């Protein structure tokens, strides 16, 4: 049966990084969204749509804001339990907290339990799609996709490949990494709403042989995404230079092995040279901005303005558990703060874009999800714009719509998430 959701609605008519905000955003004060058979069928004025669809089941969300569900372009579901681990920079953080935790995913029951917790936390924060790293264990991928499938979610992810510079229990080989990834890809890719993502962790944890096998696998299955990390921290970049002395820079390693191009999702990408920026753009690769992680692990300030000026598809990402929050509101706030530290004041519309359509474009699903427009899948978040006393008192002073929205971006969390719809169905 058709459902009509009433509230304020927000849709993008253009990219607010490239068009004036007033031309890029369609805001209806008394709006409505018609959802049927999992798809958005109409978006418009509440009175108009009520008159046109008198038989639809009406859910009135009052003054709350209805928009596309949030999309997390880069996360590690396997790091859910070690979020907020103290005191380390990237390499020590991986060795001290991350790798020991990831060894636990050899146990299928543990993987099932964390996958469930991870998806529950995502949904309570309005995240309806994520692109996740699992661990090297094929079981961790089965646990992730089975849990996502049960919830009807559009989710992306894949088995991490590492054949050096990681503990014994966390290493595959070039051959087994290739074979296991291929078997998982055949098992899960394009099943229901699931997509397999080829996942070499990052250059330091793969031998040249493994990177070569990974490039060959992607060439065999070019409609899959490929995700990895790039230029996150100074020590990491120096390490890559030592490990690959023949390559001129970090990105050149991935280029050499055929690991750039449309569908390559490069996490962090903070310290790119002019050559690397140009090569990312020329290749058609995507970037994932991980602001809470970049602050928490002490990595640095990603240049979101430059990425958008260059028209590079760029998503917003929690990077759980290097990232310090499951909230995409908090993640947008962190992106805003990092913009300020660079001298760039990102507009709330630009932040919301990155968290929805920007991430969808970066993951090559921008025609399926990411915007509240006719024909998209019914993944929707409903946001209470006065969810706490501090937000409420600030909103009382607001003089326009953006002054109503911005306090929730800066101060909101899961308490602001009033409802979530997945494939047109209310969650929980």
Binding site for Zn ion (CB under 5 A): 267, 319
Residue 180 interacts with ligand GUN (CB under 6 A)?
no
Closest-approach residue to Zn ion (CB): 319
Residues in 106-145 that interact with ligand GUN by CB under 6 A: none
Instruction: Name every residue whose Cβ is closer than 8 Å to that of residue 189 and which is 6 or more positions away in sequence.
Output: 195, 196, 221, 224
Q: CA–CA separation, 39 vs 257, rounded Å?
A: 39
- At its nearest, how many Å lie between ligand GUN and the CB of residue 172? 15
CB 212 within 8 A of CB 257: yes
Residue 78 interacts with ligand GUN (CB under 6 A)?
no
Q: Which stretch binds ligand GUN (CB under 6 A): 90-98, 122-130, 386-394, 415-423?
A: 90-98
Residue 269 interacts with ligand GUN (CB under 6 A)?
no
Residue 408 interacts with ligand GUN (CB under 6 A)?
no
Residue 229 interacts with ligand GUN (CB under 6 A)?
yes
How many other CB atoms are there within 10 angstroms of residue 400's CB atom? 8
Residue 377 interacts with ligand GUN (CB under 6 A)?
no
How many other CB atoms are there within 10 angstroms of residue 340's CB atom? 12
Residues in 183-212 that interact with ligand GUN by CB under 6 A: 201-202
- At its nearest, how many Å lie between Zn ion and the CB of residue 269? 11
Question: What is the total count of residues that contact ligand GUN (CB under 6 A)?
Answer: 11
- At its nearest, how many Å lie between ligand GUN and the CB of residue 408? 27
In angstroms, how far is CA 29 from the centroid of its own chain? 28
Q: CA–CA separation, 122 vs 125, rounded Å?
A: 5
232 interface partner picked from Zn ion, ligand GUN, none, CB below 5 to 8 A per type:
ligand GUN
In angstroms, how far is CA 128 from the centroid of its own chain? 10
- At its nearest, how many Å lie between ligand GUN and the CB of residue 331? 14
Residue 308 interacts with ligand GUN (CB under 6 A)?
no
- At its nearest, how many Å lie between ligand GUN and the CB of residue 401? 35
Residue 310 DSSP SS3: coil
Q: Site for ligand GUN (CB under 6 A): which residue of 76, 151, 189, 376?
A: 76
User: Cα–Cα distances in Å, from 137 out to 160, 212, 224, 386?
Assistant: 8, 20, 19, 43
**Token pair in block for residue 33:** 């969204």
Q: CA–CA separation, 279 vs 285, rounded Å?
A: 9
Q: CA–CA separation, 223 vs 415, rounded Å?
A: 37
- At its nearest, how many Å lie between Zn ion and the CB of residue 191? 24
Cα atoms in the 13 Å half-sphere on the side-chain side of 31? 21
Residue with token string 């920079």: 89
Bridge partners (DSSP) listed for residue 42: 34
- At its nearest, how many Å lie between Zn ion and the CB of residue 328? 16
If the CB atoms of residues 94 and 364 are measured against ligand GUN, the closer one turns out to be 94
**Interface ranges with ligand GUN (CB under 6 A):** 76, 90, 94, 98, 201-202, 229, 232, 293, 319, 322
């Amino acid at each position: 049966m058709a459902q009509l959701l009433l509230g304020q609605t927000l849709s993008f008519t253009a990219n607010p990084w490239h068009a004036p905000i007033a031309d890029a955003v369609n805001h209806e004060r008394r709006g409505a969204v018609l959802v049927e058979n999992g798809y958005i069928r109409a978006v418009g004025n509440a009175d108009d749509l009520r008159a046109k669809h008198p038989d639809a089941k009406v859910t009135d969300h009052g003054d709350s804001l209805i928009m596309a569900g949030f999309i997390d372009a880069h996360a590690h579901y396997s790091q859910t339990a070690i979020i907020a681990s103290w005191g380390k920079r990237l390499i020590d953080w991986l060795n001290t907290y991350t790798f020991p935790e990831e060894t636990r995913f050899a146990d299928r029951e543990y993987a099932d339990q964390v996958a469930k917790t991870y998806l529950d936390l995502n949904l309570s924060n309005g995240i309806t799609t994520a692109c996740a790293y699992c661990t090297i264990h094929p079981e961790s991928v089965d646990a992730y996709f089975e849990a996502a499938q049960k919830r009807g979610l559009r989710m992306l992810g894949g088995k991490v490949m590492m054949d050096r510079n990681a503990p014994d229990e966390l290493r595959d080989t070039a051959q087994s990494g290739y074979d296991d990834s291929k078997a998982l890809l055949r098992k899960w890719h394009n099943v229901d709403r699931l997509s397999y993502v080829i996942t070499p962790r990052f250059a330091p944890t793969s031998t040249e042989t493994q990177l070569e096998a990974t490039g060959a696998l992607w060439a065999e299955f070019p409609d899959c995404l490929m995700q990895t990390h790039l230029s996150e921290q100074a020590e990491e970049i120096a390490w890559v230079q030592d490990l690959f002395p023949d390559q001129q820079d970090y990105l050149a390693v991935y280029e050499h092995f055929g690991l750039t191009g449309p569908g390559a999702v490069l996490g962090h990408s903070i310290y790119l040279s002019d050559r690397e920026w140009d090569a990312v753009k020329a290749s058609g690769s995507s970037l994932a901005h991980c602001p809470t992680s970049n602050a928490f692990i002490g990595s640095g300030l990603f240049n979101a303005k430059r990425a958008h000026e260059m028209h590079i598809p760029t998503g917003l990402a929690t990077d759980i558990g290097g990232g310090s929050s499951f909230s995409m509101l908090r993640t947008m706030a962190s992106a805003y703060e990092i913009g300020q530290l660079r001298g760039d004041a990102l507009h709330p519309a630009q932040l919301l874009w990155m968290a929805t359509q920007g991430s969808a474009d970066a993951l090559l699903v921008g025609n399926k999800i990411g915007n509240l427009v006719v024909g998209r899948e019914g993944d929707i978040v409903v946001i209470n714009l006065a969810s706490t006393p501090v937000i409420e008192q600030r909103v009382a002073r607001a003089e326009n719509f953006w002054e109503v929205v911005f306090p929730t971006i800066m101060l909101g969390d899961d308490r602001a998430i009033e409802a979530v719809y997945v494939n047109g169905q209310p969650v929980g």
